[in-house]
Amino acid sequence: MIPELNNPSVCMRDPQRVQDILMSMQKSGSNTLQVISDFDMTLTRFAYEGKRCPTCHNILDNSKLISNDCKEKLKELLNTYYPIEIDSSRSIEEKLPLMVEWWTKAHDLLVEQRIRKDLLATVVRESEARLREGFQLFFNHLHEHSIPLLIFSAGIGDILEEVIRQAGVFHSNVKVFSNYMDFDESGVLKAFKGELIHIYNKREGALLNTGHFQELRTRPNVLLLGDSLGDLTMADGVQDMENILKIGFLNDKVEERKQSYLDSYDIVLVKDETLEVPNAVLLYLT
Ligand code: TMP
Ligand code: MG
């Protein structure tokens, strides 16, 4: 049906179920489809030429806007909390307060740096941010078919918008839920706006945005893309859902985490740096 589902990176617990969902979604037509995607390490690459690629936070952390002293502290936080994020021996309940701690400490440090809004575009331009291969087809195809794309990110909204703007794919069908910076009158970062979105409270974030899902209630079929088990709740606000196909990128700690990814994502892409499979699914559905 979709030859790319035979790619070596593709793992499925139940290929028949995937086929049934795909056929049902295809029958309903592309005007019933909405796409919900995570950003960091889902739309962006995990690694390039053997080197890790930055998350939204890392783009700032590694930039000239941050003092060396602060860089050290942010790196310490990353070294402490990232291993917890991907630790398959701890439950989500156990990780949740620690993730809140990570985000809170990191945002407090960023606010201390008096970051200027007018420098963000340069910082992104000079960064090593990289969207996954095939991103043009992904974004442009959704736009051409007027399929809404929600990017739901625990990263930093201002940074991720700049990444997709500079890549030329911030089209009118794209909506972003994320952590946005709040600047004072002189354009200096003073806080983050609204409720914090971290890796394990996307469900709460979704439920705060019922208006968006209300507008999309004629689109009960969902394609969900994520790289963390926390991303599975991004569609919890969707109204009258009929079908959902979940594609998960398994980038790191593959052996330890594979079973839990297979149990919760319909299609698991193991160490796949491209959007080839999601694009093939989209072409089939549209
Ligand atoms: P996502 O929901 O768009 O994937 O964003 C969350 C990622 O951001 C998650 O993998 C952890 C990462 N992160 C950092 O790299 N540095 C930080 O300081 C924080 C708080 C999160
Ligand atoms: Mg992610």
Average of per-residue pLDDT values in the chain: 97
Give the residue, out of 43, 52, 56, with the most ligand 1 atoms within 8 A of its beta carbon, to mutate for a pocket test. 56
The model's confidence at residue 222, banded by pLDDT at 50, 70 and 90, is very high
Establish whether residue 106 lines the binding site of ligand 1, counting it when its CB lies within 6 angstroms of any ligand atom.
yes
53 Cβ inside 6 Å of ligand 1: no
**Of ligand 1's atoms, which has the minimum distance to the CA of residue 231?**
2
What pLDDT digit, counting tens, does each position of 8-22 carry?
999 999 999 999 999
155 lines ligand 1 (CB under 6 A): yes
For residue 42, the ligand closest to its alpha carbon is: 2
Could you tell me if the CB of 233 is within 6 A of ligand 1?
Answer: no
Between strands 33-37 and 221-226, the pairing is parallel
Q: How far apart are CA 156 and CA 194, in angstroms?
A: 12
- Read off the pLDDT of each residue in 238-256 and give the average, rounded to a whole number: 97
Each as own residue / partner, the long-range contacts of residues 191-199 (CB below 8 Å, 24 or more positions apart, any chain) are 191/111, 192/107, 192/111, 196/100, 196/103, 196/104, 196/107, 197/152, 197/153, 197/154, 198/99, 198/100, 198/102, 198/103, 198/154, 199/85, 199/99, 199/154, 199/228, 199/230
Q: How far does residue 185's CA lie from ligand 2's centre (Å)?
A: 32
Q: What integer is the mean pLDDT of 74-92?
A: 95
pLDDT tens column, 146-162: 999 999 999 999 999 99
Residue 62: band (very low, low, confident or very high) from pLDDT cuts 50, 70, 90 = very high
pTM for the full predicted model: 0.98
pLDDT tier, 46 (very low <50, low <70, confident <90, very high otherwise): very high
- Determine if ligand 1 sits within 6 Å of the CB of residue 197: no
In angstroms, what is the span from residue 182 Cα to ligand 2's centroid? 23
- Candidates 39, 40, 44: which one to mutate for ligand 1, based on the most atoms within 8 Å of Cβ? 40
d(CA 130, CA 47): 9
| pLDDT above 90 coverage of the chain, percent | 99
Relative to beta strand 181-183, strand 51-52 is unpaired
What pLDDT, on the 0 to 100 scale, is given for residue 248? 98
Residue-wise DSSP of 155-175: EEHHHHHHHHHHTT---TTEE
Residue 199 in contact with ligand 1 by CB distance below 6 A: yes
Q: Which residue has the tokens 């990176």?
A: 9
Measured in Å, residue 67 CA sits from the centre of ligand 1 at 20
CB-based contacts of 122: which residues, under 8 Å, 6+ apart?
none
Question: How many whole angstroms separate alpha carbon 86 and alpha carbon 83?
Answer: 5
In degrees and rounded to multiples of 5, residue 266 shows phi and psi of -70, -40
Give the per-residue pLDDT at 219.
Answer: 98
Q: Give residue 40 CA to ligand 1 midpoint distance, Å.
A: 7
Which pLDDT belongs to residue 25?
98
